[in-house]
Structure 1
């Protein structure tokens, strides 16, 4: 991958409905020298679009490379500056910079389904699982990771303890605002933010909607363009396109107001009521004085098997 256009082309080949991972080749030096790895996300709060988790890694001996690239908290950089830094990580300069990276694009559909399913899977759990999987992927690709720095979700102490249990051989540091403290986390933040920005720019509506990123905005609930999209793009029957996170209250409230009300029949209520037996009744054997005896399985009856001849 040699440019941001190549990044967009790669994203366009993927299904917006599913999660997928994009990553660089592991720099040769990262396979031999001890490396640090940073983890951060972009798009946790928006009602539109994917959440992206990014990791960046480089040798411990070459931390100056991150400063030379201009890595800082992605939120403090302009979009043009973030693009410029990531472009350098994508091109041949990456071989000189010795910085590797990976990003997981987590679809809005996956986020909503995780939060709606019977055994609810919180956004924090989705986030942690993505971070854990990306660290594992980079290590399995051959990078010699020894230190990991993570921008926290939830209490940093609990998150750090969890990662330390999974990766006991790594020095793990989890902190609030890690992207503004550790340059390697800042690099990961840029990977995540730029990937999300370009995923939105090339979003393809399977529903046939003709609309560009400039028309639906950043995806954050406070964005006027996003508000307009949420207000106007409600289908009475199907709700919203898959760009929208249905589980966000912003979308839920609008659907309650403008979409059809769905009533699901309780099938169990239509069935004859049966007396529920206690679990212990299945293990009881009744006596010879007329009480019911537990029925033997057909397998034993056909073979004339009984406890009397079981050990003959």
Structure 2
């Protein structure tokens, strides 16, 4: 799998896709969605779709695709090659969400949690297939959050497409298994061949699975924790694992605007909200002196229309 477009700048997200088979533009198609790398504290999360004509479901099943988590790395690579070689009737696309994208999304002022990020990635990939002429009839998805709620959301977003959201969909529907394999192979390549933009010298790449519970991952994170700058962009800062280590090992930082001084707090408390001008409460008009902009134009507030 060629990830050169992503590797050119792995701090941002990237979309990769195969060519769209001509038959997918003329026949009703099914599409599967799955992800890889939701739980790890290291590296990207990858969402994948795979699609083929409904009439070719048995041909896809003959490729012996299966849930990527039940396969070895070598088996996944072999099956991805078989899927990719079936370009006459199978297409795929990936959305690679960088660790940096995940951290920035989850830590921004307006919270954007992982479920919302996942839903939007899946929706974006389905829309990508539709925009490229794929005649979607059926969509099968491995659930993120409550299955029924997610299914309703996708059905409303894509009217006319029959949406099925199921737990463990990657083991139930071959088209989802194929998507799972594509996503997992892409993540494996991204993590294994990670290019650090930071100057870390001769980096130890024995960071294990990337899951917080992996002792190798924990040891690697302790080794490469900078007390001032934290972690390289390979790490998801928004994970509690990273935050706990930063809190205990990094230099504490105090921001002057974390706490308002007494004078500022008092001034803020005494300020009248602009919303008070739109209140329904009846007030004595003479008790409040209007601005001359209003008096010169003989304007006044109304309680009713």
TM-score computed with the length of structure 1 as normaliser: 0.86
State the partner residue of 2:15: 21
Partner of residue 277 from structure 1, selected from 255, 262, 272: 272
CA distance in 2, matches of 1:157, 1:281: 42
State the partner residue of 1:78: 72
State the partner residue of 1:67: 61
Partner of residue 247 from structure 1, selected from 238, 241, 248: 238
Give yes or no for contact 1:11–1:202 (8 Å, CA) kept in 2: no
Partner of residue 187 from structure 1, selected from 178, 188, 191: 178
Structure 1 residues 285 and 27, CA gap change in structure 2 (3 angstroms) = farther
State the partner residue of 2:303: none
Q: 182-191 or 270-279: which moved more?
A: 270-279
- 1:68 deviation in Å? 2.5
Structure 1 residues 128 and 211, CA gap change in structure 2 (3 angstroms) = farther
- 1:147 deviation in Å? 0.2
- 1:213 deviation in Å? 8.0
State the partner residue of 1:295: 291
CA distance in 2, matches of 1:187, 1:89: 7
State the partner residue of 1:310: none
For structure 2, the 5+ residue unaligned runs are 300-305
Please list the CA deviations of residues 177-228 of structure 1 after superposition, one character each: whole Å capped at 9, or x if unmatched.
0000000000000010001111112211111224668422221123332121
For structure 1, the 5+ residue unaligned runs are 308-312
* Secondary structure of 1:241 counterpart: coil
Q: 137-146 or 79-88: which moved more?
A: 79-88
Q: Does 1:223 pair with 2:214?
A: yes
Question: 1:33-112 to 2 correspondence within 5 Å?
Answer: 33-90=27-84, 93-96=85-88, 98-112=89-103
* Secondary structure of 2:86 counterpart: helix
Please list the CA deviations of residues 66-94 of structure 1 after superposition, one character each: whole Å capped at 9, or x if unmatched.
2222210001111111111212333xx33
* Secondary structure of 2:42 counterpart: coil
CA distance in 2, matches of 1:24, 1:155: 31
Structure 1 residues 271 and 177, CA gap change in structure 2 (3 angstroms) = same
Q: Does 1:162 pair with 2:153?
A: yes
TM-score computed with the length of structure 2 as normaliser: 0.88
Structure 1 residues 94 and 36, CA gap change in structure 2 (3 angstroms) = same
Question: 1:200-239 to 2 correspondence within 5 Å?
Answer: 200-210=191-201, 214-239=205-230
Give yes or no for contact 1:285–1:293 (8 Å, CA) kept in 2: no
* Secondary structure of 2:3 counterpart: helix
CA distance in 2, matches of 1:213, 1:44: 23
* Secondary structure of 2:140 counterpart: strand
Partner of residue 115 from structure 1, selected from 106, 114, 120: 106
State the partner residue of 2:302: none
- 1:251 deviation in Å? 1.1
**Equivalent pairs, count:** 292
CA distance in 1, matches of 2:157, 2:177: 23
Give yes or no for contact 1:200–1:213 (8 Å, CA) kept in 2: no
Shift >4 Å, 4+ stretches: 210-214, 278-281, 283-286, 304-307
Partner of residue 248 from structure 2, selected from 253, 257, 260: 257
Q: 233-242 or 214-223: which moved more?
A: 214-223
Q: Does 1:8 pair with 2:16?
A: no
Give yes or no for contact 1:43–1:51 (8 Å, CA) kept in 2: yes
CA distance in 2, matches of 1:144, 1:136: 11
What is the Cα-based RMSD across aligned positions, in Å? 2.3
Please list the CA deviations of residues 149-174 of structure 1 after superposition, one character each: whole Å capped at 9, or x if unmatched.
00001111111111111112111000
Give yes or no for contact 2:6–2:14 (8 Å, CA) kept in 1: no
